[in-house]
Amino acid sequence: MKIKSILSVIAILATATFAQAEVVIYKGALRIAADLVAQETYPKVVGVYFVVDYDAHQTGLVSFYVNGTGKRYNKGSAGATHVTTAPLNMGKTAAVISTAFANEVSPTNYSDGLTFLRGVNATVTLSNTPTLIQKNVPRALVGSLTSTGASGTVGNFITAALGLTLDAPRTIATNNAKLTIDQALDDLGVALKAKGYNP
């Protein structure tokens, strides 16, 4: 744990194919409060890419930041998550994403965590080659991440507020290339490494 335009031309929209999403990429930040040890690793604000396959119920996270050792990034693997749709006023709906984990080796050696995100669904372009594909998913997600644990007598915690917005160009390029969620995560790692970030 130590841790992407709606097309406005009506003629084009009329021919759009509304289909299941492959991946949707969001970019934003974690605003972190943490224990002293974690503070030495993570700054108060950590950049993130959050990748969602809404249909397969999978998410993955790539974080990037600068600390005392330089420019760093962490690339996670895609993992199972819970995705559902909740009704809102005026016929709107919200996507709700949550992931929980619990790893208890013993009462003094464990780690627990919960990630929760939500956003109002809207029509989003997923790909435009060879055909226009759109889906109702959020353009923005807000939520929180909380983790805690212990190793012997030393405990740890991280709490973070998440704010994410759709990275539309990267989402479209990824789906045009027909990348899987794991390939999208790898691609983000490569892009960060090209900018001088190291694992």
Is 199 within a domain?
A: no
Identify the burial level of 114 via C-beta atoms within 10 angstroms of its C-beta, where 0-12 means exposed, 13-18 middle and 19 or more buried.
middle
Can you give the residue range of the structural domain that contains 44? 10-194
Is 3 within a domain?
A: no
**What pLDDT sits at residue 38?**
80
Report the C-alpha gap between 149 and 193 in whole angstroms: 30
**What pLDDT sits at residue 153?**
87
**What pLDDT sits at residue 37?**
77
* Mean pLDDT of each 10-residue bin along the chain, 199 residues long: 31 33 90 84 93 96 93 95 96 96 93 96 94 95 95 91 98 95 97 97
How many domains, the chain?
1
Query: What's the number of CA atoms in the CB half-sphere (13 Å) around residue 142?
Result: 1
Is 18 within a domain?
A: yes
Is 147 within a domain?
A: yes
Q: Which token pair is 72?
A: 């760093």
> Model-level pTM greater than 0.95?
no
Is 1 within a domain?
A: no
Identify the burial level of 130 via C-beta atoms within 10 angstroms of its C-beta, where 0-12 means exposed, 13-18 middle and 19 or more buried.
exposed
**What pLDDT sits at residue 15?**
30
Contacts of 46 (CB under 8 A, 6+ apart): 29, 30, 32, 63, 64, 65, 160
